[in-house]
Copies of this chain bind each other. A is one copy, B any other.
């Protein structure tokens, strides 16, 4: 890789993934579709407002989708798109670095 100059695509990806909670939310959803409160259960320090904001952001950039099932009561689940699922190698590398060095 050419490290001698910055790459705008890397810059953009890094900014997106670098937002607080984003790396945790994506990790949770790699386990499969989850409801709002199921995501919260794995990240209890994150506020509802924060999770709502991050979900909107990740939805607007095509990393996750919101599925609404017309049941009673209505069931809403969040799932990764292909773009989101493609982040698995990133998450895995962070995990293995964390296991070695944290």
Q: How many whole Å from A84's CB to the nearest CB in chain B? A: 9
Q: In the complex, which residues of chain B have a beta carbon less than 8 angstroms from the beta carbon of A3?
A: 27-28, 30-32
Q: In the complex, which residues of chain B have a beta carbon less than 8 angstroms from the beta carbon of A15?
A: 20
Is A12 close to B, CB under 8 A?
Answer: yes
Q: Are A7 and B98 in contact (CB under 8 A)?
A: yes
Q: How many copies of this chain does one complex carry?
A: 2
Q: In the complex, which residues of chain B have a beta carbon less than 8 angstroms from the beta carbon of A68?
A: none
Q: In the complex, which residues of chain B have a beta carbon less than 8 angstroms from the beta carbon of A93?
A: 89-90, 93
In the assembled complex, the Cα of A22 lies from the Cα of B98 at a distance in Å of 16
Residues of A within 8 A of B (CB): 1, 3-15, 17-20, 22-24, 27-28, 30-32, 42-43, 83, 86-87, 89-102
